[in-house]
Structure 1
């Protein structure tokens, strides 16, 4: 089998008309260069050079081989150099997991400034934690600190949830909290989940009890919930980071703005990767983005 280096040595001898000069150019010993040439001539089956005093003269077979081989070798070397250059200048790849809505509203507008190639994996908290444990992602944004071996959580930000309704929705005043709570229970609620996770927290924080209401609609996508509210389907609690455009266009309104609830978000990653440079860079970029 022909060795690629034999061809490179052959081309160098051809260009310099000298084994010693070719060896010097390729930083090889002269015996090693001569061995390359001898091996190639044995493979071809005939001499490629005529040995003259202080000069190597290509034979007709040598000339023909040179004409055939040079474009191929040069193209291969150019491709190799291009790959090395691209590898040296390529942006690092980072894989992020988060909820769909959070990525769309808070991360997607900033990924162009991260100086990284971002691959996003989106889903609910349990799913993106699974992605992290399976090493499909490097870092996740979580609204819960779910227990998992080898996973470290660091505080990231707080998201604020507000009561959102259609723009023409009635907003009566109340003399006491009990009346307000009773009115809220009588409204058509749109929930992200049958378990009412953020609605239950809202009730605990403001009324110190569990909600005595059931959702009229369950839509497992916050943008879907927002669209349903726009069209008068009911009210819900939504993160305020989703609302700016819809509020400015009078598509929805925030009711009772003093009645909000906050949710802590965390960045999570595998402890063994905490000192990886690209992970540290991403965490800093994410902190600047909020």
Structure 2
């Protein structure tokens, strides 16, 4: 069935000459613009634009179609203005990808005050970066920086995993073992404690163990919970241990509900980056996010 939005997209692409500029004007993604054009070309049976390196050029059929629809489209736009009470300023819609933990501890509390619309997506860094490169989402916070052709990365902070425990947990034995600097007894003692993790494979714990003890942990977590916030809330009332990113637990460490059990003899750090496309449609909105997260979020 013919969709009138295809004609709106076609009209804007014809007038601005590039898919990216049309996407910005229509407040949709560039893949969405391509989808509308492909659908209209399939419906009409003709190629409407020739794709060039720096934009698109209408074919003879495209020019003919534009001349046919321009009058009715202008009339429809006038009717839209009369029938729909628009706000004085249009709000952009920005889609942002990151892991749930980063969102919960950095951006969540600021969402209601953003001067633009926001769509969040959670997932693994590799998946989110591929979607960013393809134009599906607009902005990603990532610890990975693969060399994707359309992306630019901006480093903004380092984070590292630390070992924490409940605020009332007796770690005097652990402290003595750490002072004695005997890795194997430390590993053995920790392996006999109650452990919390966010995944059954204990990815964060494995990395902490391999860096500090040069072996993999030989125990399983007692409790696997969906995110670090749930782990920290449970640690307030029990004697368990967990390996968590330092920015996640800074407030709990400050108020004493959990305590730092050990930073580790080795402290591997991850650099977090802002990732965006080189030619983003939302430079002001993404700069606002970067400033917000740097000033009030992770720093």
CA distance in 2, matches of 1:283, 1:108: 14
* Structure 1 residue aligned with 2:230: 224
Q: Is the 8 A contact 1:201 1:261 kept in 2?
A: no
Deviations for 1:5-28, whole angstroms, at most 9, x for unmatched residues?
xxxxxxxxxxxxxxxxxxxxxxxx
User: Deviation at 1:148?
Assistant: 4.3
Deviations 1:251-276 (A, max 9, x none): 32221356554322111223342884
Cα deviation, residue 135, structure 1: 3.1
* Count of residues paired in the alignment: 212
- Does 1:104 find its partner at 2:110? no
Paired residue secondary structure (2:137): coil
| CA deviations over 1:201-230 (Å, ceiling 9, x no partner) | 3234333x1333333233342223323433
Alpha-carbon distance in 2 for matches of 1:203, 1:155: 26
- Please list, as runs of the form range in 1=range in 2, the aligned pairs for 1:130-279 lying within 5 A after superposition: 130-146=130-146, 148-171=148-171, 172=173, 173-174=176-177, 175-178=180-183, 179-207=185-213, 209-217=214-222, 218-232=224-238, 234-247=240-253, 250-257=256-263, 261-273=268-280, 276-279=283-286
Partner SS state of residue 247, structure 2 = helix
1:138 and 1:158 map into 2 onto residues whose CA distance is 23
Q: TM-score, normalised by structure 1?
A: 0.60
Two-structure CA RMSD over aligned residues (Å): 3.3
CA–CA distance in structure 2, aligned partners of residues 141 and 167 of structure 1: 31
The Cα of 1:151 is off from its aligned counterpart by 3.1
CA contact (8 A) 2:209 2:217 kept: no
Query: Mind listing any 5+ residue stretches in structure 1 that lack a counterpart?
Result: 1-75
Gaps of 5+ in 2: 1-78
Structure 1 position 189, deviation (Å)? 2.6
Q: Distance in 2 between matches of 1:130 and 1:258?
A: 34
SS of the residue corresponding to residue 224 of structure 1 reads: helix
Change (3 A) 1:126 1:234: farther
Q: Provide the C-alpha distance between the structure 1 equivalents of 2:264 and 2:202, rounded to a whole number of angstroms.
A: 21
Residues in 1 aligned to 2:80 and 2:143: alpha-carbon distance in whole angstroms: 51
1:237 CA displacement: 0.9
* Distance change (3 Å), C-alpha of 1:245 and 1:280: closer
Per-residue Cα deviation, 1:156-192 (whole angstroms, up to 9, x for no partner): 2122322111222221212123232332233333222
